[in-house]
Each structure stands twice: as structure tokens, then as C-alpha cells.
């Protein structure tokens, strides 16, 4: 009996020693990498028949070479996901949050599907841009870095560069 108590204490200590290698640090599932911001819209929405879909798209490359291939291979990310409802129509603004893998993203844009062809009828209607030139501003995401204020202004009458 006098050997059982020290053996139990020793077992608990060994278990805790090998199980708690990071102390109170968050686990990988608790840390996030990504972007968040607000999409604001100029009050000049297009007619309803030319507004089929509206998505935030984040590309690793600018200009994107083949949008569909880049989305399917993880070189581009779509928000909201394709199998869900698009961004809201006829609003003044909309907040977004998007988890992304570590990497450099050269193009963050809002894209409008203006016709019935899901694969070809798209145009950029806003982009993340921190200076006055017409080129988009790229972002660098490092491990556990969540960037906020990646804001995009959409003006349907003053479109940004059209890379696709």
C-alpha cells in the first residue's frame, strides 16, 4: 500500500509533464490567420437584372491567370463560399471575416456576376487599395496574424482595374 500512493503521484506527474508542453498557449485550433474588414457601397447599385452574384475573392496572384483553376487549387479564396448566398445587395456596408492560410495575397477584390454565365460574366467592382494608384495593395499573412481593416469601397460607376 505504501508503494501505491507514490506510484500514482509519479504517474500523474509524468502525465502532466508530457501533456503540458505549451502551458497556457492557445492550441493550433484556437489561433487564426486571416483578414476582416468592411465593404462599403456607393449608393449607385446596378439594375437588379445585372446583379446575379456578389463575392469577395482573395487571390495569391495579380492578375489572376485562370480564376476557376485558382479557386479549385487553393490559389484563390471566395467569401461567402460558392455554395452559400452571395454578399448582400442594396446595402450601404457589410462586414466580413475570412480565415486564410499563411501567405502573400496580391489581390483582394469584390466581384460582381453581371450575366447568366457563372464562368465568364464577372467583373471587379472594388478592391483593397491603400494608395491612390489603380493597382491593388497586397497583404502578407504570417502565422497567427489576423489583419483587420482590410476595407473595400465599391462604386459600380467607377470600376477598378479589370484583371478578368
61-80 mean pLDDT: 90
* Model confidence pLDDT, tens digit, residues 77-93: 999 998 899 999 999 99
- Tell if the pTM clears 0.85, that is, is over it: no
What phi and psi values does residue 18 have, to the nearest 5 degrees?
-85, -20
**Helices (H) then strands (E): counts for the chain:** 2, 10
Q: Taking the domains of the chain in order of start, what are their residue ranges?
A: 32-154
* Model confidence pLDDT, tens digit, residues 142-162: 999 999 999 999 999 999 989
* Model confidence pLDDT, tens digit, residues 104-131: 999 999 999 999 998 889 999 999 999 8
Amino acid at each position: 500500500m505504501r508503494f501505491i500512493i507514490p506510484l500514482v503521484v509519479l504517474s500523474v506527474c509524468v502525465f502532466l509533464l508530457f501533456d503540458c508542453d505549451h502551458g497556457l498557449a492557445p492550441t493550433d485550433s484556437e489561433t487564426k490567420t486571416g483578414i476582416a474588414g468592411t465593404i462599403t457601397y456607393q449608393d449607385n447599385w446596378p439594375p437588379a437584372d445585372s446583379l446575379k452574384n456578389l463575392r469577395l475573392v482573395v487571390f495569391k496572384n495579380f492578375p489572376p491567370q485562370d480564376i476557376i483553376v485558382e479557386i479549385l487549387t487553393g490559389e484563390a479564396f471566395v467569401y461567402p463560399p460558392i455554395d452559400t448566398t452571395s454578399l448582400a445587395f442594396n446595402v450601404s456596408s457589410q462586414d466580413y471575416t475570412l480565415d486564410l492560410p499563411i501567405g502573400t495575397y496580391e489581390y483582394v477584390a469584390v466581384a460582381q456576376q453581371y450575366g447568366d454565365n457563372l464562368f465568364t460574366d464577372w467583373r471587379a467592382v472594388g478592391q483593397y487599395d491603400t494608395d491612390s494608384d489603380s493597382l491593388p495593395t497586397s497583404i502578407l499573412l504570417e502565422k497567427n496574424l489576423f489583419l483587420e481593416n482590410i476595407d473595400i469601397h465599391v462604386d459600380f460607376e467607377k470600376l477598378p482595374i479589370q484583371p478578368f
